Structure formats: C-alpha cells, structure tokens
C-alpha cells in the first residue's frame, strides 16, 4: 500500500539543522488529513510509512496507466534496496479466535476538505501534525506504549499555541489556558468546565516527562493505555476544527 502526491518544493528557507525531517511536508499534510478524516467514535486511522519518500519525475495525470506502470517499477527498485528495520511482529490470527474485521471507508469529502485546510507554510501546524502522526506510529509497538505519549504531548503543546494564535486573531490579545479550553468547549458546543487547556492531562504529562517532579518520584510513568487513546482522539478532533476554522476564517 502506498500514497502518491504531487511534490512542490518549499520555497521558504529555514535556517536550522535537522536529521528528523524524514516525512516530507506534503506527506505530513496527507497522512494527518487521513488521521483527521474520521470523527469522534468512528475509530482511528494509524498510518505507518516504513521508508522515506522518493521523487519520480512525471508530468502526466496521476491516474494514467502510464504513471501507474512507472510508479510500480520505481517502487520495486526502492523496495529491493530498502534497509529493513526491525518492527514488532504482526498479530497472528489464532484458529477459532473471535476476530471481527470492520471496514469503514474514509470520508473522501472530509479528507479533501481537511487536506486543503492544512496550510503547508504553517510551521507550527506542520510540527504539531507531524508529532500527532508519529505518536500513532509509536503506539503500534506494545513495547513503546509509554513512549507513544511523548510525541502526543508535543502535539498537544503545539495545539495549545495554535489555539492561542487563533484566539488572538479573533480579538483576544493575551489568551490564557482557561481561554483556550473555553474555545474548545465553544467549538464543540459543550458546557463550559472552567478548566485549563486539557487540564485533566496536565498532571499526567508532568509526572511522565519529569521523573522527579512536584508530585513525587515514580519508577514508571503513572499513566494508563486508555490515557493515550483518549488524549489522541480529543487532540485529533481539535486539530481538525482549528485547521478548518483557520481556512474559513470563522470564529
């Protein structure tokens, strides 16, 4: 399974060094749009690209058979030379196990809408979405279930800045964490809680990221598996709405 998209070089010069830009910006946009194309309680999309992108020179329509043939040949060459990385073993279907397979196609209209709403030139948005996608990738490995929370916390921090930026744009010159949470409640038509931005996860983040903290010293991160899944789904929902509002300019 693979994704293909037009590559447009980023004309903006960024004066910093990194070796962690393995996903191209357009890939981050597309993968994140897939993640956000499902709604609350509709499940999750968990993309896991296994190698970096590569460019293929082709000027024609992507749906043409000629392009598919060229892409197939290029992919075979790429796979033949791919450096294989160790990953968790796949889940094995045990005979007689009550497995059920559910397939719900992505909402293509929503996918296109979200992809268009993500500003490729918005460094803060791209950084946050990159962390959001990476958190799901890490979560695919049971051995790294705790570590999946780390990029998710980065995505949450970027989201807080995005919400504050949105509030400044619509008239609040110095929005607080309480204002940011009120924005979330307003966006989803919820009753106001009077809490800070994702306050229910604040203590977990402190105790997880800082081994010696004001709450004490913990030999293991004092969090649960469901904490990750709950936070991921809520953060995903807010990211989608912030992206859509930024595009439309609505309050």
171-219: per-residue pLDDT in tens? 999 999 999 999 999 999 999 999 999 999 999 999 999 999 999 999 9
Q: What is the model's pLDDT at position 17?
A: 87
Q: Assess contact for 152 and 231: CB atoms under 8 A.
A: yes
Q: What is the model's pLDDT at position 129?
A: 98
The distance from CA 218 to its chain's CA centroid, rounded to whole angstroms, is: 29
Q: What is the model's pLDDT at position 97?
A: 56
Q: With the C-alpha atoms ordered 159, 160, 163, 165, is the resulting torsion angle positive or negative? A: negative
CA distances from 146 to 94, 104, 153 (A): 27, 28, 12
CA distances from 234 to 5, 63, 150, 230 (A): 28, 35, 16, 6
To which residue do tokens 């194309």 refer?
37
Q: What is the model's pLDDT at position 168?
A: 97
Parts of the chain with a pLDDT under 70: 1-2, 8-9, 50-53, 82-104, 248-251
Q: Assess contact for 228 and 148: CB atoms under 8 A.
A: yes
The first and second tokens of residue 157, run together, are: 């921090």
- Cα separation, 250 vs 122, whole angstroms: 18
Q: What is the model's pLDDT at position 60?
A: 82
Q: What is the model's pLDDT at position 99?
A: 53
The distance from CA 75 to its chain's CA centroid, rounded to whole angstroms, is: 25
Helix (H, G, I), strand (E, B) or coil at 216: strand
């Amino acid at each position: 399974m693979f994704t293909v998209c037009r590559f447009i070089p980023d004309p903006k010069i960024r004066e910093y060094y990194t070796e962690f830009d393995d996903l191209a910006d357009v890939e981050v946009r597309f993968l994140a749009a897939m993640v956000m194309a499902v709604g609350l309680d509709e499940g999750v999309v968990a993309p896991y690209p296994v190698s970096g992108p590569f460019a293929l020179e082709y000027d024609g329509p992507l749906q043409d058979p000629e392009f598919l043939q060229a892409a197939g040949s290029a992919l075979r060459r790429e796979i033949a030379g791919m450096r294989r990385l160790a990953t968790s073993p796949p889940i094995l279907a045990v005979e007689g196990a009550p497995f059920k397979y559910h397939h719900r196609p992505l909402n293509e209209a929503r996918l296109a809408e979200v992809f268009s709403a993500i500003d490729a030139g918005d460094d803060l948005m791209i950084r946050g979405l990159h962390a959001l996608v990476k958190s799901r990738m890490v979560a695919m490995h049971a051995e790294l279930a705790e570590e999946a929370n780390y990029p998710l916390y980065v995505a949450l921090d970027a989201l807080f800045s995005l919400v504050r930026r949105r509030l400044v744009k619509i008239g609040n010159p110095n929005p607080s964490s309480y204002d940011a949470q009120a924005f979330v409640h307003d966006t989803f038509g919820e009753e106001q809680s009077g809490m800070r931005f994702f306050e229910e996860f604040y203590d977990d983040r402190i105790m997880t990221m800082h081994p010696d903290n004001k709450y004490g010293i913990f030999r293991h991160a004092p969090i649960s598996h469901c904490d990750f899944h709950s936070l991921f789904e809520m953060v995903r929902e807010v990211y989608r709405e912030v992206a859509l509002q930024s595009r439309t300019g609505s309050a």
